[in-house]
Amino acid sequence: MAKRAAAKSRNYWLFKSEPSAFSIDDLAAEKTKTTFWDGVRNYQARNMLRDEVKLGDRVFLYHSNADPMAIVGLCEVVREGYPDHTAFDPANKHYDEKSNPENPTWFMVDIKLVAKFDEPVTRDQLKDEPQLADMMLLRRGSRLSIQPVTLNEYQTVLKMAGLKANI
DNA sequence: GCCAACGTTGGC
DNA sequence: GCCAACGTTGGC
């Protein structure tokens, strides 16, 4: 009688961006509240975008090199990994001659804004929260721009943002 | 502005 | 394959 079909497990991530390059307000201004997450040029991050970030996964948006540095909102993955075409365009800032459409090096996903936090959850707040002691974002020297987030970290941050933990 | 921590590059 | 030099990230 037990249901054997395991519920598809959703995964949780954190994407970093410098708001001067792309901010949550830029995303909110998009008509569809959707953007492709281009420009990731790190192999470890690439592997996650290509292989692990799945439709329906939740994504925190984090503003680095910002005032304040903070998690500023929540997004949902609406398209899974596909080639990052900005790598093919010599005029693009993220152009990479090693990548081409026949054999792409770099990948991206599409994310859609679910909620911009009324109040950003600042880095200082994150550091003060014992539940987040092991969070990758807070480890010194952690420069990965795509990071996995645990379920507990996800729920803790949502709570800090004043949102229900099951959104 | 400083600098630690990384990742990448290239000489050997 | 090693490793020094260099460039970048990103918090402080």
Span CA (A137) to C1' (B5), Å:
14
Residue A6 in any domain: the answer is: yes
The per-residue pLDDT for range A81-116, each reduced to its tens digit, is 999 999 998 888 888 888 888 889 999 999 999 999
Question: Which CATH number characterizes residue A21's domain?
Answer: 3.10.590.10
Residue A24 in any domain: the answer is: yes
The whole-chain average pLDDT of chain A stands at: 92
Which pLDDT score, from 0 to 100, does residue A89 have? 87
Whether A65 CB is under 7 Å from strand B? no
Residue A65 in any domain: the answer is: yes
Q: How confident is the model at residue A66 (pLDDT cuts 50, 70, 90)?
A: very high
Residue A142 in any domain: the answer is: yes
- Cis amide linkage into residue A90, ω under 30° from 0: no
Does the pLDDT at position A138 exceed 90?
yes
Q: How confident is the model at residue A30 (pLDDT cuts 50, 70, 90)?
A: very high
Residue A165 in any domain: the answer is: no
Whether A141 CB is under 7 Å from strand B? yes
| Strand C footprint nucleotides (protein C-beta < 7 Å) | 8-12
Q: What is the DSSP letter of A5?
A: S
Span CA (A2) to C1' (C8), Å:
52
Which pLDDT score, from 0 to 100, does residue A90 have? 85
Q: Which of residues 108-127 of A touch strand B (CB under 7 A)?
A: none
Residue A78 in any domain: the answer is: yes
Residue A149 in any domain: the answer is: yes
pTM: 0.92
Measured from Cα to the C1' atom, the residue closest to C12 is: A65
The range of the structural domain enclosing residue A33 comes to 2-160
Cα-Cα-Cα-Cα dihedral of A44, A128, A161, A115, to 10°? -20
Measured from Cα to the C1' atom, the residue closest to B5 is: A141
| Count of domains forming chain A | 1
Does the pLDDT at position A3 exceed 80?
no
Q: How confident is the model at residue A140 (pLDDT cuts 50, 70, 90)?
A: confident
Comparing A164 with A116, which gets the higher pLDDT?
A: A116
Judged by phi (left if over 0) then psi (alpha if -120 to 50, else beta), residue A132 lies in alpha
Span CA (A138) to C1' (C11), Å:
10
Residue A130 in any domain: the answer is: yes
